[in-house]
Amino acid sequence: MPPGPISRRTLLNGLVALPLAWQLQPQRTLALGGVLPTLDTPAPDFRLPAVVPDRQGEPRATELGLADFDGQWLVLYFYPRDFTSGCTLEARGFQRDLQAFRSRGAAVVGISADDGDSHISFCGSEGLAFPLLSDPDGRVSQLYGSWLAPFSQRHTFLIDPQGVLRQIWTAVRPAGHSAEVLAALDQRRVPSTVSAGSAA
């Protein structure tokens, strides 16, 4: 027997219960692009086709995943599209500061829905020396609450050397974003060396 119509009271009770259910999971945050992963928990795992510059700076096709960055900080940034003005500005910022990130034990990785050929052209055009990953169906972008088909949204995630998600930026403004992430990394990093006398 098919279910009868929903009463007004049942509908109102359901609407009242929704905010309460949401409050019981305060760490789960909605953003343009979906539900963001929870801070201070393991970052969502992924493996995607990638374009990585070789020793001569020439981009080559490979695959990369979260496990490839074990033991180092990871700046994982999602962006809408290669060659657009905002995405180019953001990529240039990360490229300008790339040595500063590396000196702090951090890798920078970009993800968009663009294919490998587009990434190769973008890396070559902008002289990018960090990997760009292709997520054409948005599978990984969805895991990170960063997908509004057909594009990834401009969100950035800071993942620690143990693979734990430590900071999230949503609706990023490309200008100055790299410096913002670098400053946050400096605040969160544990000094690599501690003098023997300081423990006394």
Alpha helices, DSSP H, located in the chain: 8-23, 85-96, 98-103, 116-126, 139-143, 177-188
> What b/e sequence results for 86-107 when a residue is b if at least 16 CB atoms lie within 10 Å of its CB, and e otherwise?
bbbebbbbbbebbeebeeeebb
Read off the pTM. 0.81
pLDDT, tens digit (0-9, with 9 covering 90-100), for 117-133 = 999 999 999 999 999 99
CB atoms within 10 A of CB 178: 25
Q: Which of 185, 189, 175 is nearest to 76 (CA)?
A: 185
Domains of the chain, start order: 34-187 (3.40.30.10)
| Residues forming the active site | 87
pLDDT, tens digit (0-9, with 9 covering 90-100), for 50-97 = 999 887 878 899 999 999 999 999 999 999 999 999 999 999 999 999
